[in-house]
Structure 1
Amino acid sequence: MKSETLIASVIIPVYNKEKYLNNCIEVLNKQTLDHDKFEAIFVDDGSKDQSLRIIENAAKNHAWIRVIAQENGGVCSARNTGIRAAQGTYLFYLDPDDDLSPDTLLKVSNFFNGHKNEIDLVTYKIVPYDEGEKKNLHFRYDVLTASGVYDLQRGDNWLVCQTTMNICVKNKFENNHTFNFKTNNGTVYHEDQQYITEILHDKKKIGYCAGPKYNWNKNSSSASNNIVNPYFIFDNTMTMFETLFSLDGGTPSKYIQGLFINDLAWKMRSSSPLPTHLQGEEYKVALERFKALLKRVDDAVILRHPNMQVYHKYFFLQLKSASNIELNFGPNGISAMRDGKFLFSREKVNLHILRTRLTKHKLVLFGVVKSPFFLFSDEMPTLSVQIQNKGGFSSTYLPLYDSSVSSCGSTQTVAKFFNFRYEINLNTPSRTAFKVEFAGHSFDTYLSFLETRCNFSQPLNYLAFQGNTKIAITRDMGTILVSRVKNPTVELKSSSRTVKIVRKLIQVQKKKKEERNSEIWLYSDASNRLDNAWYQFLHDAQKNDGVTRYYVAHNANTSSFTPKRNAKVIEANTRLHKLLYLNADKILVSDIVRDTYVPWTNVALKKYADLCNAELIYLQHGVLWAHLPNYYSYDRVLFDKEVISTKFEMENLTANYGFLESDLLACGMPRYDFIDADQQPKKRFCCALLGDNILLEILSMENASLSPINSRTLIITRGLQHSFQMQHCKRF
């Protein structure tokens, strides 16, 4: 095959991809470009499985397949080998576990032919799949709406943010760009982004060919999933962006600034872009290196970037430089300015309600006070509640607590939010409003709800009823109105006859239950196991206290249990389970994941939100030692009560996790029924670690007969060091 007849060269790096290769070959074989017009260069990078044999056999049957075998050098080395060998006019890239639409090579090449002198790189649509599930398209397709050439220096084209290998590159042979990513620790990451950006920099334009698709199949076995921690990639990321920022001399282009903010955005959601793996002086030095890049990014790029969560934007504005951000207070709220330029403003403060519990006599609220401006001040806000009822007007201040929700979906604190609790008496009609005072100014509030955990939802117009008591939320005014109505069912409107029937049925059942002075308790474990809820159910089933108990079995073998009049086993997610969930008084669970105990979808449950009145009780496992506030703080688990077994837990959860003592049931785990509680406890401890590549080293132990045990451990998990003290935990 003569090189002048070749239009496209597809470069496929291969390392231990035997299970994907046959499909990859078939994808290329289905390309509509004449097979004598393209070549597929498979570069085997020292595979240890049957990959090389598979592609060599395929090459015998397909003249368009070329195979190059080399010693393992990594994906950059394999691609560079392919680039040097390529004879086609255009270079395409494909990973063996991804695929292309059949028209990709033909249509992209034809598009490139029409714009050859304008551009060096063409992109086409990438469609992400995660374990087979199709995910949302990249935000760049809000800009790339039609085939054409896009000037990256004009308008919103800086948001194209091309970082993935759904590209076609002009083959310049000996003048080709190659993958020259520099790494100081052997970890290669972002090599695609650097390669693409260096090619685009020459002409600062990109071509887009609508129609063809690159199907990107993300999977848990991907090597990149295991190295996104800053321990592995912080230094490499800094080196790459320092290189890219230098391409334009002093000030990086808006396009490259956008790449940097995009990188921060997704890392904030997955791990951290900051050097959190370092401590002390090393951390300070690394953070200054990071801030040196951040200071070269325009505030407008941070604020306008569509991929970054809004509170993460405010965090980076503050990290960039908080000293020259000024807060201005006026009749229309607060605004933030930097060097005389407007950044953002807010008229009201958000009270985001995370959990409500509606009982016969009271409405319990648990929420968080949110405002971006708290981050830019050392002053702490105050929250007052103002009540108007037949007794007149009263006002009181509510205690505020640091909230773990301040992480805003990241692994670190990026905001200053504060939790609060309040109970509204439903026995008397009233109007409740909230005010926030901050920096000497008073602000109105507006209410929002985590609707999957609250009794108020959009399908119910944020109304709820308890008997003839109506509770109405005016969200934009931040008020809650309690009143009496004659016929509560008339005011809850729904287009679904089924919803109305179910609601009526539950209301009738609740009334009968109240007349009999009886209760319904549900017990639920995770799927395919019998856990703490099962043991608690077996224990409680012996009681005759007017409570009817149901164990909810999730594919678990409960055949050993003999049903009783007041204790039965039901299957999870059945119609009966759904009705009982709405009618339950208590739900006891051993797993905080909602799917393990909620039989309704989130969308369906919102239509019955006001009927969900059960007290949620968490039968937690063991003793929580690791510091995990983003998982187990009160504002995360959102359970009404938690069972604990030791004094250490009481102290730890109240001091560090936002629990009140009244939230904790100090009675021991149900499995204590299976041990001799009267036996004298031994001075010993168990350290159970989850994860792979773990090295545990006991550095010292002094006088193990004492309590607490004086021992320090060092755990290295995927290269991360965690040091903690172990104590002997006394039972209640």
Structure 2
Amino acid sequence: MLLSIIIPLYNAEHFIIKCLESCYMQGLAESEFEIIVVNDGSTDRSLDVVKGYLKSKTNIRLYTQKNLGQGAARNFGLKQALGKYILFLDSDDFLLSNSISKILEIAESTSCEVMNFLMEVELPDGNIEVGYSYKYDLHKIYSGEELLLHNNINVGTACSSLYKKDFILQNDIFFPTDMKHEDVFFSYQVYTFASKIFFSSIHAYYYCWHANSTDRSVEPQKLRILQMSEISLAFYLNKLSSDQRVKREISNYLKKASNSTLISLLLAIFKKESVLTKKEFKKECMHRSLYPLKGRALSWKTTSILYISKVILAFS
């Protein structure tokens, strides 16, 4: 089988049919791809909607788990996948028509581990912009090391790339299940280990803006979760930097990225733009073995702030 499309499903009864239908508008025969839907404890009619839809399809597999989060649902889907390539699709988004077959053709011809494509992002005002755009040579194959160290790659969503399944599994790449923005750490792992990455100008993914997204919530408790997740991200980056498989140059980069993540959050605390206090920040960093802060950050400016912060935190 050529492709596995993994869809975590959580309370998307009004969007999931459009999402699923877009998968069948890619110029691929049903025998060439599978759709793995992982119902993550939905409390609306999402599960019933999918059950009704798959009666007319031969290549959808539906699983249900208790609500463990998107990362856990994707990890589960990865373990079930039979395809040579993996594509992650959120249940409230959809694929642009006749795009994935073109991306698969390029992936096959270049033998790349990661195939990047463009995403159209729906804005609150209804306008559309291109998200995760990049200015790279569309005829060149890059290494992850080259992109991390020299090209300032935008490490973000896992949904704007096609991945070779064997590459993901052989390098034990996973989504953290105890934080939001789990895509970011997943992407850091991908660029840490990938040796063949290709960029295309194909628009393949449509990201739908929803006002009730956790990322846009101003509720204190949800903001706390997001901000604590930044500390979790720093922890995972620091842990990855100590992995013996990681080259020294990338290891140093990951340590600096970990520190920069912490400093960015700490600046928000200093400016009173965070629901976390300095004491809570320090306590969580100590729990994650990230305190006292050591080393440098990604820029000289952030490194300077890091040194100042160490003094301030020492008296907190």
TM-score, normalized by the shorter chain, greater than 0.5: yes
Distance 1:197 1:272, change over 3 A: farther
Count of residue pairs the alignment pairs up: 295
Q: Match of 1:171?
A: 165
Tell me what 1:191 maps to: 182
CA distance in 1, matches of 2:82, 2:297: 40
Indicate conservation of the 8 Å contact 1:36/1:64, yes or no.
yes
Higher fraction of helix:
2
Query: Could you say which residue in structure 1 is the equivalent of 2:314?
Result: none
* One-letter code aligned to 2:56: N
Q: Does the 8 Å CA contact 1:13/1:45 hold for their aligned counterparts?
A: yes
Shift of 1:159: 1.3
| Conservation of the 8 A alpha-carbon contact between 1:17 and 1:97 | yes
Q: Look up the equivalent residue of 1:168 and give its one-letter code.
A: L
Does the 8 Å CA contact 1:24/1:98 hold for their aligned counterparts?
Answer: yes
Question: How far is 1:297 from its partner?
Answer: 3.0
Picking from 233, 240, 249, the partner of 1:237 is 233
Structure 2 partner of 1:214: 205
**Paired residues for 1:282-301 under 5 Å:** 283=282, 286=285, 289=290, 292=293, 295-299=295-299
- 2:114·2:161 contact (CA, 8 Å) conserved in 1? yes
Displacement after TM superposition at 1:242 (Å): 1.4
Q: 1:228, 1:61 → 2: CA distance?
A: 41
Instruction: Judge which range, 41-50 or 284-293, deviates more.
Output: 284-293
CA distance in structure 2 between the aligned counterparts of 1:97 and 1:130, rounded to whole angstroms: 14
1:182 and 1:236 in contact (8 A); partners too: no
Does residue 30 in structure 1 map to residue 21 in structure 2? Answer: no
Match of 2:138 in 1: 146
CA distance in 2, matches of 1:153, 1:141: 17
Tell me how far apart the structure 1 counterparts of residues 63 and 235 of structure 2 sit (CA, whole Å).
Answer: 31
- Distance in 2 (CA, whole Å) between partners of 1:210 and 1:321 is 42
Q: Is the 8 A contact 1:147 1:210 kept in 2?
A: no
Deviations 1:254-273 (A, max 9, x none): 76478558857986998889
Q: Would you say the 8 A contact 1:148–1:209 is kept in 2?
A: no
RMSD of Structure 2 on Structure 1 (CA): 3.7
1:23 aligned counterpart, secondary structure: helix
SS in 1 for 2:11: coil
Distance 1:32 1:254, change over 3 A: farther
Aligned 8 A contact 2:185 2:233 in 1: no
User: Which of residues 124, 127, 138 is equivalent to 1:133?
Assistant: 127
Compared CA separation, residues 249 and 171, structure 1 to 2 (3 A):
closer
Alpha-carbon distance, 1:8 to partner: 0.6
Counterpart Cα distance in 2 of 1:176 and 1:65? 27
Deviations 1:578-600 (A, max 9, x none): xxxxxxxxxxxxxxxxxxxxxxx
Deviation at 1:136, TM superposition (A): 5.8
Point out the structure with max Rg over C-alpha. 1
1:7 and 1:88 in contact (8 A); partners too? yes
User: For 2:76 and 2:105, how far apart are their aligned partners in 1?
Assistant: 26
User: Matched residues in 2 for 1:245 and 1:149: separation?
Assistant: 24
State the match for 1:123 in structure 2: 116
Map of 2:305 onto structure 1:
319
Q: How big is the shift at 1:41?
A: 1.1
The alpha-carbon deviation at position 93 of structure 1 amounts to 0.4
Structure 1 unaligned spans of 5+: 1-5, 303-313, 324-732
Aligned-pair identity in percent equals: 21
Query: CA shift at 1:236, angstroms?
Result: 1.4
Query: SS of the residue aligned with 1:150?
Result: coil
In the TM superposition, what are the counterparts of 1:265-280 in structure 2 within 5 Å?
A: 277-280=276-279
Match of 1:161 in 2: 154
Rate the CA distance shift 1:261–1:205 in 2: closer, same or farther, 3 A. farther
Letter in 2 for 1:216: Y
1:216 positional shift: 1.8
Structure 1 residue 285, shift from structure 2 partner? 8.5
- Aligned CA distance change for structure 1 residues 65 and 100 (closer, same or farther; 3 Å): same
Shift of 1:88: 1.0
Gaps of 5+ in 2: 310-316
**Residue 97 of structure 1 aligns to which amino acid in structure 2?**
D
Structure 1: how far apart are the matches of 2:238 and 2:170? Answer: 24
Q: Equivalents in 2 of 1:48, 1:249: separation in Å?
A: 44
Partners of 1:129 and 1:290 in 2: CA distance = 39
Relative to structure 1, the CA distance from residue 215 to residue 69 in structure 2 (aligned partners, 3 Å threshold; closer, same or farther) is same
Compared with structure 1, are the counterparts of its residues 27 and 272 closer, same or farther at alpha carbon in structure 2 (3 Å cutoff)? Answer: farther
SS at match of 1:18: coil
| Deviation by residue 1:40-83 (Cα, 9 ceiling, x = unmatched) | 11111121111111111111112232212222222122112211
Cα distance change of structure 1 residues 269 and 318 upon mapping to structure 2, 3 Å threshold: closer
Aligned 8 A contact 1:159 1:258 in 2: no
CA spacing shift, 1:317–1:69, aligned 2, 3 Å: closer
Give the whole-Å Cα distance in 1 for the aligned partners of 2:258 and 2:99.
Answer: 29
Q: Which amino acid aligns with 2:233?
A: T
- Does the 8 Å contact 1:177/1:199 carry over to 2? no
Aligned residue type for 1:19: H
Looking at structure 1, the residues matched to 62 and 228 of structure 2 have their Cα atoms a distance apart, in angstroms, of 32
TM-score relative to the length of structure 2: 0.77
**Does the Cα contact within 8 Å between 1:40 and 1:64 map onto a contact in 2?**
yes
The residue that corresponds to 2:91 in the other structure is 96
Q: Structure 1 residues 270, 91: CA separation in 2 closer, same or farther (over 3 Å shift)?
A: farther
Alpha-carbon distance in 2 for matches of 1:43, 1:290: 37
One-letter amino acid of the counterpart of residue 235, structure 2: T
Q: Do the aligned residues in 2 keep the contact of 1:45 with 1:78 (CA within 8 Å)? A: yes
CA deviations 1:509-528 (Å, max 9, x no partner) are xxxxxxxxxxxxxxxxxxxx
Q: Which whole-Å deviations, capped at 9, do the CAs of 1:484-539 have from their partners, x for residues lacking one?
A: xxxxxxxxxxxxxxxxxxxxxxxxxxxxxxxxxxxxxxxxxxxxxxxxxxxxxxxx
Residues 76 and 242 of structure 1: CA distance in aligned 2, closer, same or farther (over 3 Å): same
| Counterpart residue number, 2:215 | 224
Residue by residue over 1:263-301, the C-alpha shift from the partner in whole angstroms, topping out at 9 and shown as x without a partner, is 5798699888998723459748949947736x33353xx
| Contact 2:69/2:177 (<8 A) preserved | no
Pairing 1:45-56 to 2, within 5 Å after superposition: 45-56=40-51
Partner of 1:40: 35
1:587-602 matches, within 5 Å, as: none
**Does the 8 A contact of 1:177 with 1:195 survive in 2?**
no
